[in-house]
């Protein structure tokens, strides 16, 4: 029995017999290289997992949105939640995202459903559909472990959007669905993720490396791994959350580094007072230029209030500098710039191995991966001892 058949068998009790059902499926994501540098425009290498999340959507005669999670109870959360659709998507004009978020995340026991219900709000707000004729019953089932750092949230978003787009006969390709899924996570849920997770979940192919230059969504390659090469992961059991404070602070620190570098270039007159030679992408800074010109410029730590007084806001539309927080700017910027350079080395080493079958190139790829993991742990402070 395949995973879709297993899901249908499990969710049948929550659906009306004899009524049409639309199914969406989206896999988890394995980060082969780069990961967190997606939001600064870095190049990342991703793969879909074999395990997946499913969403089943069935129309209702009323205007309720009823959402069921087959796994929520395992995490001490409510299995079922119901909203009036007009609360989330009023006829006429969509609610501001902040109001939708407040409605969907007010109760911690049901806040998980924001990843699902957010699809309705985003489709309306982003102009994909003027409104919804009826309510819907939605059942979510997932074999992707929750909080394991393998994009369980993106899998929920994209599975829901695939099913909802098919249910509404909307012609949306995988790239557009990925952007909409990111909008659900950033604006409705409030988690500051980049686009990498949603792109991989929507576009990834089995045993292939999806190379994305996240500026914002340039798919560079979607190529099979070289013969004999496999990428695996270990589930440590440590919970990971993109919306967690450490992740948010590390992201904000990277954008603070970008702001300081651009301010320096404006100050010495090599670019105009309103220009940014990196167009908002810290990862565009060449690693040699960073080490030579900017590494000593960036503060190891700076308080949010001091940064705001001197530099003002960053260009990040998702995070804000908090006056009472201390940020590790130099380390965060260093990781993003150097890991982007390492990504190119990793890709080149795999390509060389594919052509030559020389083990030395696999060793080089592995060394780049180890250096990237060390930076994630030491520069960003996001690792775990168990990993």
Question: What tens-digit pLDDT sequence spans the chain (387 residues)?
Answer: 699 999 999 999 999 999 999 999 999 999 999 989 999 999 999 999 999 999 999 999 999 999 999 999 999 999 999 999 999 999 888 899 999 999 999 999 999 999 999 999 999 999 999 999 999 999 999 999 887 778 899 999 999 999 999 999 999 999 999 999 999 999 999 988 878 899 999 999 999 999 999 998 899 999 899 999 998 888 777 765 555 588 899 999 999 999 999 999 999 999 999 999 999 999 999 999 999 999 999 999 999 999 999 999 999 998 999 999 999 999 999 999 999 999 999 999 999 999 999 999 999 999 999 999 999 999 999 876 766
Is the bond into 216 cis (omega within 30 degrees of 0)? yes
Domain C-terminal end among 167, 195, 224:
224
Q: Is there a domain that residue 48 lies in?
A: yes
**Do 213 and 263 sit in the same domain of this protein?**
no
Query: Is residue 282 within 8 Å of 257, Cβ to Cβ?
Result: yes
**Do 190 and 265 sit in the same domain of this protein?**
no
**Do 277 and 194 sit in the same domain of this protein?**
no
Q: What is the pLDDT of residue 73?
A: 94
**Which CATH number is 334's domain given?**
1.20.1440
> What span, in angstroms and rounded, lies between the C-alpha atoms of 169 and 162?
10
Using the 8-state DSSP alphabet, how is residue 293 labeled? Answer: I
Q: Which residues of 18-35 are buried (b: 16+ CB within 10 A; e: fewer)?
A: eeebbbbbbbbbbbbbbb
Range of the structural domain that residue 361 is part of: 244-380
Q: What is the pLDDT of residue 241?
A: 55
Residue 110 structure tokens: 């049901």
Q: Is there a domain that residue 385 lies in?
A: no
Q: How many domains does the chain contain in total?
A: 2
Q: Is there a domain that residue 386 lies in?
A: no
**Do 295 and 351 sit in the same domain of this protein?**
yes
Whether the full predicted model's pTM is greater than 0.95, yes or no, is no
Domain C-terminal end among 195, 224, 253:
224
**Do 303 and 217 sit in the same domain of this protein?**
no
**Do 90 and 37 sit in the same domain of this protein?**
yes
Q: What is the pLDDT of residue 384?
A: 67
Q: Is there a domain that residue 256 lies in?
A: yes
**Do 279 and 218 sit in the same domain of this protein?**
no
Q: What is the pLDDT of residue 216?
A: 86
Q: What is the pLDDT of residue 52?
A: 96
Q: How far is CA 157 from CA 254, 310, 319, in A?
A: 26, 39, 21
Q: What is the pLDDT of residue 35?
A: 83
Q: What is the pLDDT of residue 233?
A: 80
**Do 299 and 165 sit in the same domain of this protein?**
no
């Amino acid at each position: 029995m395949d995973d879709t058949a297993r899901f249908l068998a499990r969710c049948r009790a929550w659906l009306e017999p004899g009524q049409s059902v639309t199914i969406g499926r989206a896999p988890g994501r394995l980060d082969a290289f780069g990961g967190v540098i997606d939001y600064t425009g870095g190049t990342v290498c991703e793969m879909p997992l074999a395990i997946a999340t499913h969403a089943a959507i069935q129309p209702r005669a009323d205007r309720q949105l009823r959402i069921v999670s087959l796994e929520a109870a395992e995490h001490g959360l409510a299995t079922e939640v119901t909203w009036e659709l007009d609360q989330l998507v009023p006829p006429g004009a969509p609610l501001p995202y902040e109001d939708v978020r407040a409605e969907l995340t007010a109760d911690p026991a049901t806040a998980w459903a924001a990843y699902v219900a957010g699809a309705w709000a985003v489709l309306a707000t982003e102009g994909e559909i003027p409104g919804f004729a009826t309510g819907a019953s939605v059942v979510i089932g997932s074999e992707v472990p929750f909080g394991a750092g393998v994009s369980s949230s993106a899998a929920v978003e994209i599975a829901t959007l695939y099913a909802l787009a098919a249910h509404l006969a909307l012609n949306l390709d995988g790239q557009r669905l990925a952007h909409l899924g990111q909008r659900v996570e950033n604006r409705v849920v409030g988690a500051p993720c980049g686009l990498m997770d949603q792109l991989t979940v929507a576009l990834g192919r089995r045993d292939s490396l999806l190379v994305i230059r996240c500026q914002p969504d340039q798919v560079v390659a979607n190529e099979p791994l070289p013969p004999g090469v496999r990428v695996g992961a270990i589930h440590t059991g440590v919970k990971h959350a993109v919306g967690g404070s450490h992740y948010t602070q590390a992201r904000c620190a990277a954008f603070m580094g970008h702001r300081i570098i651009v301010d320096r270039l404006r100050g010495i007159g090599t670019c105009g007072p309103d220009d940014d030679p990196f167009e908002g992408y810290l990862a565009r800074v060449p690693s040699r230029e960073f080490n030579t010109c900017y590494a000593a410029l960036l503060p190891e730590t700076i308080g949010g209030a001091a940064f705001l007084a001197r530099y003002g806001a960053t260009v990040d539309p998702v995070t804000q500098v908090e006056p009472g927080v201390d940020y590790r700017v130099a380390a965060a910027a260093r990781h993003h710039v150097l890991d982007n350079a390492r990504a190119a080395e990793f890709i080149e080493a795999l390509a060389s191995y594919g052509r030559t079958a020389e083990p030395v190139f696999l060793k080089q790829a592995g060394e780049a991966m180890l250096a990237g993991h060390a930076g994630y742990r030491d520069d960003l402070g996001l690792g775990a001892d168990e990993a």
